[in-house]
Amino acid sequence: QVQLVESGGGSVQVGGSLRLSCAASGYIYSSYCMGWFRQGLGKEREGVAGIDNAGITRYADSVKFRFTISQENFKTTLFLQMNSLKPDDTAMYYCAAGPCPVPRSLLLDWKQYNYWGQGTQVTVSS
């Protein structure tokens, strides 16, 4: 069983930065992919950034060049560095893990993931 715990959320002003962390326990297979997803109030869950088992990353167009996903310690820790934050980035952010989807274009499809954290809230105010 995989457990994921997010941290690092908070309130920040427009243009600010936050770094989210996701601590994974249990067994994360080397073949697993991991990702960050978010859900704003009244909105559908959407993929933000994903990383596959080869370290290849994929980003939603809305966060490209502002957010960076990375992982350390053999996938036991996943990060999301968020820069130049905008009010539209306000959401609950979730970490997820699971067998890598085929094709990899599904990396940001939340339905592909088996394991989820409880989420961490990010609020960006103007």
Residue with tokens 């715990």: 5
pLDDT of residue 85: 98
For 42, half-sphere exposure in the C-beta direction (CA atoms, 13 angstrom radius) is 1
Give which of 78, 115, 118 is closest to 2, Cα–Cα: 115
The tens digit of pLDDT for each residue in 46-61 reads 999 999 999 999 999 9
* 65-92 pLDDT tens trace: 999 999 987 778 999 999 999 999 999 9
Give the β-pairing of 10-13 and 120-125.
parallel
Average pLDDT in the 91-111 region? 94
Residue 62 has pLDDT above 80, yes or no: yes
pLDDT for the residue numbered 89: 98
Strand partners of residue 95:
36
pLDDT tens digits for range 6-34: 999 999 999 999 999 999 998 888 889 99
Q: How far apart are CA 122 and CA 115, in angstroms?
A: 21
**pLDDT number for residue 5:** 97
Whats the size of the chain, residue-wise? 126
